[in-house]
Structure 1
């Protein structure tokens, strides 16, 4: 994969990796999701797309930027990446990355041809996350990033759903993503908005959900279907919030 770099409006350096040729397609990862999770999807899509895999703030080589991180900054990061592409892109947003994608579609719609969103967690934002943010901050400050990761995995639903989609990644491997985890929780905790906040993307929207996902993610998709009644909606039998076979999602891109 080829490396790319943009500087977001606040001066934060955001890295992304590019593979393949064709129309641009951007992948926006979810919370605590290692880039390795998306490699099988990239390999399938690279035959027909130029795929850009974004390392969001605090993940991989991307800087965290000024603290606390805000959702608006996250959306600006994606708009900056889109500005590096030669033509409007298909954008796939997974989990929190799906919300970032919707915000970017409102801010820079002409740079986005369509969005494909897998379980954007609209129903799990705001004050409900404040205890988790406080616990994760404390664990990281005390040099216990593995405890922050364990706490955050609760975002993925009931116990039988938490780990099975992480493609074999161990807690130890995920601890390097702790800075991005804190950035995401800061951004998500500050979002106290109604469902209508996410409206306004004037591009085709596809909403995907797993057939075995946790109730809060099913509620989130239902809420977005109400906001976008014309959106395509598909359920992937047997899948959970962190898909075990993420390459299956390639079937839903034009």
Structure 2
């Protein structure tokens, strides 16, 4: 049983990964997306903890995770998940949102035996003429960071990439965590979003996998979800009618129902 205490695990490169453990039931490792930390799961944390022992990870470079080296690679984050999974009391499920879903794809390609099932919500990567970032976005974003205006950078991200008005988001407690992690978007955008899944990468996947995509999200998210689902043997693609990239905030009850429908309890 998790009581909300903080667990620290050591990843393959020596980085310390902080994980909040809360709830009871089968283990479920949750990896948040860009410009966030484990508090991203606050809208669904209490409901999910009634059914699962949640391992809420602070992805490297933010929150309780320390020792992140200057040289970034997607594979380092995958190794972080492997280290967290090894600390679970049972073979965990994996829940990844946004960039956390990209990490989940790399985990399925390299270490699928470390998890029992994977539910991935809109993994973002460029595919089939669809791009995650508009031309010049990351350069303009970096300029705002260099000028010390994280607020403007983050608002630009929500408008230009996620396609929503950031004003309601600014009122949420997660906004401060997003500001603190704003700089990590650059490395994920320049390196991680080059990820391109191919069928040969997932030949060893034999666990349940479901990819979720909202019908109101920017087209690149749906295209990437379709590509990921088609590359993974037996994977299911589910379209969420009327939902966007931030379903966790807009419809937390519906999000929890999807978790309960998919993961065994």
Give the SS at the match of 2:39.
helix
Query: Residue 172 of structure 2 is aligned with which of 139, 163, 169?
Result: 169
- Residues 22-101 of structure 1 mapped to structure 2, 5 A cutoff: 22-63=25-66, 65-101=68-104
- Separation in structure 2 between the aligned mates of residue 5 and residue 153 of structure 1, nearest angstrom: 31
Structure 1 residues 123-154: Cα deviation after superposition (integer angstroms, max 9, x where no partner): 36999688443333333233222233233324
Please name the residue that 1:116 is paired with: 119
CA gap of 1:155–1:226, structure 2 versus 1, over 3 A, is farther
CA gap of 1:225–1:136, structure 2 versus 1, over 3 A, is same
CA gap of 1:138–1:170, structure 2 versus 1, over 3 A, is farther
CA-based RMSD: 2.9
- The alpha-carbon deviation at position 118 of structure 1 amounts to 0.6
Give the SS at the match of 1:9.
coil
- The alpha-carbon deviation at position 80 of structure 1 amounts to 1.2
Please name the residue that 2:138 is paired with: 133
- Separation in structure 1 between the aligned mates of residue 135 and residue 76 of structure 2, nearest angstrom: 19
Structure 1 residues 88-107: Cα deviation after superposition (integer angstroms, max 9, x where no partner): 11101101101101212333
Structure 2 unaligned runs (5+)? none
Query: Residue 216 of structure 2 is aligned with which of 190, 212, 217?
Result: 212
Structure 1 unaligned runs (5+)? none
CA gap of 1:193–1:109, structure 2 versus 1, over 3 A, is closer
Query: Residue 245 of structure 1 is aligned with which of 248, 251, 258?
Result: 251
- Separation in structure 1 between the aligned mates of residue 213 and residue 243 of structure 2, nearest angstrom: 8
Give the SS at the match of 1:102.
helix
- How many residues were matched structurally? 251
Q: 1:15, 1:55 within 8 Å by CA — same for their partners in 2?
A: yes
CA gap of 1:184–1:133, structure 2 versus 1, over 3 A, is same
Q: What TM-score results when the alignment is normalised by the length of structure 1?
A: 0.85
Q: 1:118, 1:207 within 8 Å by CA — same for their partners in 2?
A: yes
Q: 1:92, 1:115 within 8 Å by CA — same for their partners in 2?
A: yes
